[in-house]
Amino acid sequence: MRTVLNKITVIGVGLIGGSFAKGIKQLGLAKEIHGFGNNEENLKMAVDLQVVDSYSTDIQTAMQDCDLVMLAVPLGAMQPVLESLRPHIPQSAIITDAGSAKQSVIDAVTKVFGYLPENFVPGHPIAGKEQSGVAAADDQLFVDHRVILTPAESTSSAAVETVKKLWLALDARVEVMSAGFHDEVFAATSHLPHLLAFALVEMLHEHPELGNVFKYTAGGFRDFSRIASSDATMWRDISIYNHQAIAKWMTEYRDYLSGMIELVEKQDAEALYELFTTAKQARDQHIVNKQD
Amino acid sequence: MRTVLNKITVIGVGLIGGSFAKGIKQLGLAKEIHGFGNNEENLKMAVDLQVVDSYSTDIQTAMQDCDLVMLAVPLGAMQPVLESLRPHIPQSAIITDAGSAKQSVIDAVTKVFGYLPENFVPGHPIAGKEQSGVAAADDQLFVDHRVILTPAESTSSAAVETVKKLWLALDARVEVMSAGFHDEVFAATSHLPHLLAFALVEMLHEHPELGNVFKYTAGGFRDFSRIASSDATMWRDISIYNHQAIAKWMTEYRDYLSGMIELVEKQDAEALYELFTTAKQARDQHIVNKQD
């Protein structure tokens, strides 16, 4: 990519927004990488860490001459942020985001603009790490990670190409799919396991008659429940903003469990063995090539 | 411990039995560590690897002059193994085991002997690793790991002391509790998460309309589902031999999920936030001191 943009504004310079900004800045893919937020300390740190070139806490300044906006704020903040930037954003600017549920962001954009702007390219980088905040920003964060783009039929293909090239320049693997499919797949493979882990830890916690039950947990429990140490605000937002797909998959899973409970109660050794074997094969086959 | 035993026979010289034997042998806590099994190749390897001093595939030889038997076989093999050793085991020999469900082993012993021998000390070392088999035997496997003993009221306290000293000599942390409490706690903290992970992987696998759904999984799913790559035979046995407690906890969990599904459907942000926060705190607080 040698199409250098004029000014990219990153709204929300935390781990994801900061890593995006830092990578783009190092590659020189924009004349100016600008950070916007309401925490000036954080933005100053972003300049010191060479994550952004400049910052503002005033949205009008942030939008001036900007040709691409990256919304890297929590799902719950998408709509208010869009409302504040709408009067100031240049007509031709591309808007993209990094939210982990997609239909809800599309809905927020549509609500704020009154229509779905053809320059809005919904996106979801599948990356993260234990630490959060701009201090953890890492220009290598997206290397070999998937970034899902979910443009609508009306989305400008030029806008999609520009966003795609930025992610590819950061060595991410870009895939395009519908917002609906995205939300289904991530409800099933990411949101569901997180909620299941939260549920297990919380349920055990509510059983003091087991004593300090966590004392007896071994590696299996630690692995299973690690994601229950994830950020509560983020998971509240995801649960709310992708509630339909999540409720659907949780219900499906609960019903699946009911079937397994019957097998355990009936002591159906053969059916359980078959289930465990298929699951083990499926996991080993699909996961083996990923870092594990 | 300087009470050296005459002959310890380990039945089932795999990862757990082999690690126990190797540790005891290196410490010289028995004049002879003898391995018994039906796979002679495996037993030869155990001698070559200095896991045991000697072996036999004949139970009469294995039991001769033996003063402690360690049953390190799958739960499903406990009863047949006990039946074959019963006519040959010296009256005074201590029997212990390494099964991960305890009441079922107590039941098997009671059934085979017609009563619960006072020299039987049920045990469960909470240890394991990815590899299995005697080649993976490791005399440090139990260091700082818990070993739960679940003697009955009628169990000889001298027998309990002897078994305890052996585990302490291997640097394990020994705890005594009732078999019923053990089976409850491990159903909740170990068996339940394993079955939940198997269920998730298998359910997703049964939804081809999601495409290669595992392609989009990230670290969270990998951690959560790692235990679904566990041995299917072992988990079939555990599900069968601890079926009551497992069915009870699975049902409790399923009902807990129903409550969460309602919160998601109602988009009850506050209640979800509270739940996630409590779960995160509970996990962080209890797990933080363990390797994570």
Report how far residue A91's alpha carbon sits from residue A86's, in angstroms, rounded to the nearest whole number: 10
Nearest of A75, A79, A135, A95 to residue A9 by alpha carbon: A95
How big is the A-B interface in CB pairs under 8 Å? 278
Q: Which residues of B touch A263 (CB under 8 A)?
A: 239
End-to-end CA distance of chain B: 32
Range with the lowest mean pLDDT among A237-241, A281-285, B61-65?
A281-285
Order the strands of the A30-36 sheet from edge to edge. Answer: A54-56, A30-36, A5-11, A68-71, A94-97, A120-121
**pLDDT on residue B267:** 97
**pLDDT on residue B291:** 43
Q: Which residues of B touch A200 (CB under 8 A)?
A: 192-193, 196, 253
Q: Which residues of A touch B218 (CB under 8 A)?
A: 126-128, 145, 190
Report how far residue B36's alpha carbon sits from residue B57's, in angstroms, rounded to the nearest whole number: 6
**pLDDT on residue A108:** 98
**How many angstroms away from the CA of A177 is the closest CA of chain B?**
12
| pLDDT tens, position by position, B105-145 | 999 999 999 999 999 999 999 987 777 889 999 999 999 99
Report whether A21 contacts A7 (CB < 8 A). Answer: no
Q: What are the tokens at B171?
A: 């640097």
Question: What angle in degrees, to the nearest 10, is found between the helix axes of B103-113 and B78-85?
Answer: 30
Interface check for B130 against chain A (CB to CB < 8 A): the answer is no
Query: Domain segments of chain B: what residues?
Result: 5-177, 182-288
A21 pLDDT exceeds 50?
yes
High-pLDDT (> 70) share of chain B, %: 96
Interface check for A135 against chain B (CB to CB < 8 A): the answer is no
A85 pLDDT exceeds 70?
yes
Same CATH fold, B182-288 and B5-177? Answer: no
| pLDDT tens, position by position, A179-197 | 999 999 999 999 999 999 9
**pLDDT on residue B53:** 98
This prediction has a pTM of 0.88
B268 pLDDT exceeds 50?
yes
Q: How many residues does chain A have?
A: 292
Is CATH 1.10.287.110 the right assignment for the domain spanning B5-177?
A: no
B50 pLDDT exceeds 50?
yes
A43 pLDDT exceeds 70?
yes
- Residue in B142, B195, B201 to test binding to A, most A beta-carbons within 10 Å: B201
Interface check for B201 against chain A (CB to CB < 8 A): the answer is yes
| pLDDT tens, position by position, B193-206 | 999 999 999 999 88
**pLDDT on residue B287:** 65
Interface check for A205 against chain B (CB to CB < 8 A): the answer is yes
A2 pLDDT exceeds 60?
no
The beta-carbon neighbor of B276 closest among A192, A193, A236 is A236
Interface check for A204 against chain B (CB to CB < 8 A): the answer is yes
High-pLDDT (> 90) share of chain A, %: 80
Interface check for A154 against chain B (CB to CB < 8 A): the answer is no
B219 pLDDT exceeds 90?
no
| pLDDT tens, position by position, A44-54 | 999 999 999 99
pLDDT bracket for residue A216 (50, 70, 90): confident
Burial class (CB in 10 A: 0-12, 13-18, 19+), A19: buried
Interface check for A92 against chain B (CB to CB < 8 A): the answer is no
Between A198 and A215, where is the model more confident? A198
Are B189 and A216 a contacting pair at CB < 8 A?
A: yes
Interface predicted TM-score (ipTM) of this complex, two decimals = 0.89
Paired with B120 in beta bridges are B95
Q: Which residues of A touch B144 (CB under 8 A)?
A: none
| pLDDT tens, position by position, B143-162 | 999 999 999 999 999 999 99
Are B223 and A221 a contacting pair at CB < 8 A?
A: no
Report how far residue A170's alpha carbon sits from residue B113's, in angstroms, rounded to the nearest whole number: 68
Backbone angles phi, psi at A236, to 5 degrees: -60, -50
Are B283 and A229 a contacting pair at CB < 8 A?
A: yes
Average pLDDT of span A56-79: 97
Are B128 and A219 a contacting pair at CB < 8 A?
A: yes
pLDDT bracket for residue B292 (50, 70, 90): very low
The beta-carbon neighbor of A277 closest among B225, B232, B276 is B232
A182-288: what CATH class?
mainly alpha
Pairing of strands A123-125, B30-36: unpaired
